[in-house]
Chain A
Amino acid sequence: MKHIISALVENKFGVLSRVSGLFSGRGFNIETISIGPTLDPTVSQMTIVTTGDERILEQILKQLNKLIDVIKVTDFADKEFVEREMCLIKINTPVEHRSEALRIADIFRARVVDSTQKSYTFQVTGDEKKIEAFIELLKPMGIKEVVRTGKIAITRD
């Protein structure tokens, strides 16, 4: 089972390594992890996507809480939330594919952020399903590179 966990952590050096060390040291999985600042400059926000059964998730939450630099842990499992991920995709675009590529991009509300004679780079945002579907459709044209941010999530009020 996939889980999204977010953690507010002290914005100190070494914190990322403490969190990732906890996962690797105990054999937990990290599927994606993303970190950014919050309104309070001394606090950062981490969003971690992990997999595991209920017992493992319970351990992950407790272990995260136990880390001295972790201020608060939120498990999204029993919450209403919005999740998003951003993805940059560079594809080969010989002349005959260019309009097709743009048409697909339009459907997914992706934007062209860079274009050359031979390539387009798209930016697309959405949940995991949408991003995967977009990538699937572009595959036949020849994807050169995909870069994803990993998920971020926020609870609904």
Chain B
Amino acid sequence: MEKLMNNGGSNGAKRWLLLGLVLVAVVSAFSGMINRYYLGVLVEAGVNVTLAVSLNLINGYTGQFSLGHGGFMAVGAYLAAKLTLLFGPALPPALQPVLFAGALLCGGMGAALAGLLVGVPSLRLRGDYLAVVTLAFGEIIRVVFQNSPAFGAATGLSGIAPWTNFFWSWSVALVTVYVVLALVHSTYGRGFLAVNDDEIAASAMGINPVRYKVTAFVVGAFFAGVAGGLFAHLKRAINPEGFNFMRSIDVVVMVILGGMGNTAGVVVAAVLLTLLPELLRGFSEYRMIVYSLLIITLMLLRPQGLFGRSSKGGRL
């Protein structure tokens, strides 16, 4: 993947993206053969890949500590769901995918706007302080939805169309991976890593650290918003509690487990952490304990994440 995304022969990467999308389309054509339950888990894995890979741009590559992904996701979920609930029923079935795509996009843009608003404090704040601010932001978003009758208040929205399938979920995941990799491997995007490595040296090279940090927030939030829209149309019902800070923590764990600034690792971690709780169903009430113990063990054995940062400066 490293070679692909590098400078020079850049059309290769776009071709791989197309190939991936075709593959996703083919698999989804045969998805009827997969057990409904497992299919649901796979679709959810795609949503989580989108969440984790986009957070990795903020936390991994740019080196900020955001706990705001749950909040961005909520914005996208509520906006997209509201739009399809409003306009879906009157629409001929042929136009439903168009509405869905439009709703996801709007959700993403709403979240990106929120990302811009939270990105601005990152002008001043670092590390733990930024984490606290983004966390607070996520909670504010949640409380706002909780108190908006238009968005169902505490009960949330239900009866959302079940439009998120394997194709949608994994196409979005692929596009997210492409965007993040294309960005960070370009001359422009090496600036994200430069800001992470050494802000003073970066600004001495003409890189505006604030610009890059805010850009990371906006792009990351956009995809979190799209993932939120997918999530809403997968679960068919959303409520404010579903986007509390535990949701953000889950995504942070995926990024840390996969290896900060290592997209391939983060993809694998996102899939693993989606499957793991399902595989552990046999343990019934001890499930979450086993899950937590597994994560602790993994972090002790591989503190740099499953895959760590790849060497020779070509972090995936």
A binds B: no
Question: A: which residues have CB within 8 A of B?
Answer: none
